[in-house]
Structure 1
Amino acid sequence: MTERMFDVVVVGAGPAGSAAALTAARAGLSVALVERGPHPGSKNVYGGVVYGRVLDELVPRWWEQLPAQRWITRRSTMIMTDRQAVTVDVRAEAWGGPPYNGATAFRADLDGWLARLAEEAGAVLVPSTVATGLLRDVDGMVRGVRTDRPDGDLTAGVVIACDGVNSFLAKEAGLFTDRDTAQHNSLGVKETLALPREVLEDRFALRGRDGLDMEILGCTRGIPGGGFLYTNLDSISLGVVVGLKGLADSGVRPEELLADLRAHPSIAPLVRGAELKEYTAHLLPEGGYDTMPELVGDGILVAGDAAAMCLAAGVWLEGVNFAIGAGMYAGRAAVEALARDDTSLAGLAGYRRMLEESFVLADHRKLRRVPGLVFSDRVQQRYPALLCDLAEEFFRVDNPRPKPGLGRLLRRTASRHGVRLRHLLSDAVTGWRSFG
């Protein structure tokens, strides 16, 4: 067996990697946390919503430390066409106090905070370092990583790959199948738009640290995807997320879609007068449960975006919470395997068991059919126009004509948009089985 320099090497200091390093270091293991950027968060452009309850086990009273921008007390889902919009808006005062439901945050802040906790627990941060490949022993067991530093091999009992979408380490380990994972990846583009805090709070009817999370469907010219608007302390995160294949086939540039959204009659008044501070883009894995790689190999575990742990379920767009949870369980599995001196696939199998018993894989498995439904032609192109027209006609007062019944309106509107009622019923059943 190769003599190891560390017990655990974690590649990637995002939420999954830092949670794994923190967990393993707290258990007394020697841990290296490798980050390709000059500091954790420097390569990430996320400015969205964090669902922090997963931190209950990892960081007691985490809400007193989390670098939150705003606590989400409003959740809105907007369905739009180029001239219409229908919005369901939920407000909950209870979400504005501990233990909170969600918070907007910037990844540079969030990643830095989690990595500092890992360092304080004893992990060694290795910044500005790229893991270029895996080290193996004569039996093929993963025993560490190669890096781009001179003499930069890091040997370890367990490698935890948290190296992002299309993980090179997971691929080198043979954990991805022959499925074309690229077709399940999406591109997110985002603008950070600055507004004075008092203007923002007045415009969005917020107070104190309350915040809004708005998810949008029908804003991508029929390309599979959606949009979002999140409020920060004194800025707005406005963006779209679209499937790579659909975007390439359309010939449309992502900034065009973002410009469309910014100019939409329902969005333009909300961002009026805002100053562009940042434009960023990021790849996301959105294929769900059926596109995940194998999560365990001989001497290696995979977590976070590297494991396609991003839930694109229309009303729920989550990733950071799954990353933190998976990282925490990966750290625990490494501790157990090293204590038994068995870091083979069988020795690390507890990781999969922990994920199955937790929300991480339970939610992904329950909603495994939803990405296919959400990104389908009907949901992306037909249903937004159908629902907007249905709402417009239902609330139209057209005297002296009598008011039409909802069933008649639905049949007429569905026919106009080429939607058969059996398709509506089929999609409703899929949705019920997933969300019910």
Structure 2
Amino acid sequence: MKPQALGNVRVLDLTRVLAGPWCTQTLADMGADVIKIEHPVRGDDTRHWGPPYFRTTDGRETRDATYFASANRNKRSVGVDIASREGADLVRALAAQCDVFVENFKVGDLARYGLDYDSIRAVNPAIVYCSITGYGQTGPYADRPGYDFVFQAEGGLMSITGERDDLPGGGPQKVGVAIADLTTGLYASIAILAALNHRSVTGEGQYIDMALLDCVTALASNQGAFHLVNGLDPRRWGNAHPSLVPYQVFDTSDGKIVIAVGNDEQWRRFCQALGSKELEEDPAYARMSGRIQNREALLPRVQAIIAKLPCAHWLKEFSVRDVPNGRINGYRETFQHPQVIHRQLAVEVGSDNGEGYVRGIANPIKFSATPVQYTRAPCALGRHTQEVLEQMLGLDAQGIEALQSRGVISAAAQPARQEGA
């Protein structure tokens, strides 16, 4: 196997749900040895967010939800009760041998167990310690809990997502995936990589404070800048674009397609695909500024032409003229898309105990020298407890059995359940 970019990095992962696991899965995909610490009985919350439960490719249904599987491949699961003194001691001992510590507990929670940054830094001064919370470690809201939906609302994203108020179905909408969580996970992985680089130069570890509200607010990009520069609130445009016309969904005679005209040359070719000399030669629409100012008059004319013929006709006509276009696919169609297949965005990941393969979405990063590898399917709770404690802490079978008997660590992992079980 080829070397991986983070093959020399070990991560202790005390995260649950999505933002933290998304971060650590990203690191694991690039080769980091991610040790996922979970409650020995309950495990990660999302293990129980089913049905649906994920299945191996030979049809066996596991005991864990698909949601959990989406963010927890390439990791080793260790079940430890950190609320017990012995459990907290085990985690500190593991942290002493790790490069990165990631957690998403409420502000101050881990200090009760001696697993906060100061306590971990005492046993490993070079540690990169990343905390992920809803509102951050400081400020008037720091102690509040929250989920992605709340942060999409408070961070302004819902105010610009959804159809215009004056149209049917108008009103704020959340994004169809937990975008605040996912964005925070990606920002956190970037921050960790930067901190590791800093450590390689200086030898110093550091603390990273990541907040979902911060990250979803930063995601505002040009829309947030519009407000900061002009003092105005951006409006919702639904599937249209505030600065590009035509750039939206259109109804054909047998379905819906997306058209994205991004400049004046594309507009000229778009009109040729429509077969409309009248629109192409109309000076009111020749420049983007004119199309924006006259969108209410222009778009019904475009829609009337497109509605006469089927999707296949228009997709062909726009494609041969290099006008950006596409179908609105369900995920069944997406994963059957020729380009998605070519880019191998669906992968099968084998379990490390011979229990079959699990299908999942590939990491989109394409390295030339250190490719992403898929070495472990999302595993059963505590699957690697004994392995990690033996390898890293030198515990013997008798010591591990004693810890299991006291409920400090998880017992042997349960196998996947057979069809109909």
**Fold match (TM-score > 0.5):** no
Q: Which has the higher strand share?
A: 1
Q: Based on CA coordinates, which of the two structures has the bigger radius of gyration?
A: 2
TM-score by length of 2: 0.31
TM-score by length of 1: 0.30
